[in-house]
């Protein structure tokens, strides 16, 4: 009970490695991640067999692959949580460099799998989406730059991080992948705001984003088609949004029953981008609220623990990772209920997808590594002089 109220008790340096790791870890957030993965498997069992049959696979082909990818993601997550913040930063920078180069190579060696956006590398047995792996590395690099600028005589890290963000957003928009571009821009904006950015500058940036959106609408047919579909007062019932909206309405509070849903027969992305529609139809609003509570618990607990952190890099990087994780979930569910235009974004740890699962394991592993309890005073001690 003490740990539930006050957090984990800091371990002593002489303790064995595994007990020390376990005693400093946010076990509530880890438990929520495991439950999200379990919900994803449950919904995969419901949503993927019709797609497997259409593609000529065994009924549980996608579920089996989800277990393999999810197992790799969980192992990656646990290993990452054991790392020190310094090691996380080093590996994050290295990973960012590799994935940024991979992102630049997409126009030459990438594929769109018939979806109209070149976002993947085809590996034969699987596909790889560099933008998913770029996000955690980008957060680490940007947080490092911004925190370095706060040191006396430090480099202009805020300006460098802004230029890097603009470059990544432009590359993603050219794919086009406006959803990931917005997520990267949001993550940088949150870290910049936490670092003390003036509100006027953020308002100018918001205006620039609105202008860029208008420009993209007039120059990109892919972008304009999605915005027009979102703004149209009439919803075509034969589109993915139409099927998803109908499924959510049919589900009500308690759902139509396990295995009784029909949306999985019509939606090609029922196991990925629109898996929340399957949850709402078969299990109802109760399961959807449970899923939202799991995401909310991870984000809120992480931010609360980061409030006690004195290292500016850890505080910024953790905030960026937590907010991007939560907003990605919000975007996915917002699209399904037509609060947002279609983005093509997965629901973390629930949707099917190797890149999404493993990259999510890396990102949340970094977050849990940053929020581990360390032997330090509270950040408020700096103000009272007790931190010396």
Determine which of 60-69, 110-119, 150-159, 213-222 has the lowest per-residue pLDDT on average: 213-222
Determine which of 19-23, 191-195, 234-238 has the lowest per-residue pLDDT on average: 234-238
What are 367-382's pLDDT values in tens digits? 999 999 876 545 544 4
Distance from C-alpha of 164 to C-alpha of 159, rounded to nearest angstrom? 9
pTM: 0.89
According to the model, what pLDDT value does residue 3 have? 47
Rounded to the nearest integer, the mean pLDDT of the chain is 87
13-22, 158-167, 269-278, range with greatest mean pLDDT? 158-167
Q: Is the pLDDT of residue 238 over 80?
A: no
According to the model, what pLDDT value does residue 15 have? 61
Mean pLDDT to the nearest integer, 105-130: 86
Mean pLDDT to the nearest integer, 249-276: 84
Mean pLDDT to the nearest integer, 81-100: 96
Confidence class of residue 216 from pLDDT cuts 50, 70 and 90? confident
Q: 231 or 145, which is more confident?
A: 145
Percent of the chain whose predicted confidence (pLDDT) is above 90: 53
Determine which of 146-155, 181-190, 220-229, 290-299 has the lowest per-residue pLDDT on average: 220-229
Mean pLDDT to the nearest integer, 24-43: 96
Distance from C-alpha of 83 to C-alpha of 139, rounded to nearest angstrom? 17
Mean pLDDT to the nearest integer, 305-327: 95
Here the tokens at position 116 are 């109209």
Neighbour tally for 378: CB within 10 Å:
14
Q: Identify whether the C-beta of residue 334 lies closer than 8 Å to the C-beta of residue 183.
A: no
CA angle 331, 276, 216 (to 5 degrees): 30
According to the model, what pLDDT value does residue 118 have? 86
Q: Which of 99, 133, 97, 128 is nearest to 111 (CA)?
A: 128
Distance from C-alpha of 52 to C-alpha of 277, rounded to nearest angstrom? 18
Mean pLDDT to the nearest integer, 344-361: 92
According to the model, what pLDDT value does residue 383 have? 44
What are 130-170's pLDDT values in tens digits? 999 999 999 999 999 999 998 878 899 999 999 999 999 99
CA distances to 45, 278, 292 from 285, rounded to whole Å, are: 19, 11, 10
């Amino acid at each position: 009970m003490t740990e539930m109220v006050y957090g984990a008790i800091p371990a002593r340096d002489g303790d064995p490695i595994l007990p020390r790791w376990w005693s400093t870890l946010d076990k509530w957030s880890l438990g929520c991640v495991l439950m999200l993965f379990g919900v994803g498997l449950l919904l995969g069992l419901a949503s993927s067999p019709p797609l497997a049959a259409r593609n000529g696979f065994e009924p549980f082909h996608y579920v089996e692959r989800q277990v393999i990818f999810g197992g790799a993601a969980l192992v990656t997550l646990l290993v990452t949580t054991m790392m020190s913040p310094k090691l996380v930063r080093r590996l994050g920078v290295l990973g960012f460099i590799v994935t940024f180069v991979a992102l630049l190579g997409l126009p030459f060696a990438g594929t769109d799998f018939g979806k109209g956006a070149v976002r993947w590398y085809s590996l034969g047995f699987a596909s790889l989406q560099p933008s998913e792996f770029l996000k955690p590395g980008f957060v680490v690099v940007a947080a490092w730059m911004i925190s370095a600028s706060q040191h006396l005589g430090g480099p202009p890290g805020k300006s460098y991080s802004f230029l890097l963000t603009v470059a990544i957003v432009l590359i993603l928009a050219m794919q086009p992948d406006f959803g990931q571009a917005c997520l990267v821009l949001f993550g940088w904006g949150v870290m910049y705001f936490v670092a003390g950015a003036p509100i006027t500058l953020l308002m100018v940036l918001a205006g620039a984003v609105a202008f860029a959106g208008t420009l993209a609408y007039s120059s990109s047919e892919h972008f304009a088609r999605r915005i027009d579909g979102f703004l149209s007062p009439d919803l075509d019932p034969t589109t993915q949004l139409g099927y998803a909206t109908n499924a959510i309405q049919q589900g009500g509070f308690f759902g139509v029953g396990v295995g009784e849903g029909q949306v999985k027969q019509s939606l090609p992305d029922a196991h990925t981008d629109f898996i929340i529609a399957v949850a709402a139809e078969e299990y109802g609003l109760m399961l959807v609220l449970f899923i939202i509570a799991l995401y909310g618990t991870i984000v809120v607990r992480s931010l609360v623990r980061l409030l006690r952190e004195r290292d500016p890099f850890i505080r910024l990087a953790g905030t960026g990772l937590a907010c991007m994780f939560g907003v990605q979930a919000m975007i996915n569910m917002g699209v399904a209920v037509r609060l947002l235009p279609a983005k093509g974004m997965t629901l973390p740890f629930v949707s099917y997808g190797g890149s999404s699962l493993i990259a999510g394991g890396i990102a949340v592993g970094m977050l849990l590594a940053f929020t581990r309890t360390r032997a330090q005073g509270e950040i408020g001690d700096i103000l009272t002089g007790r931190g010396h």
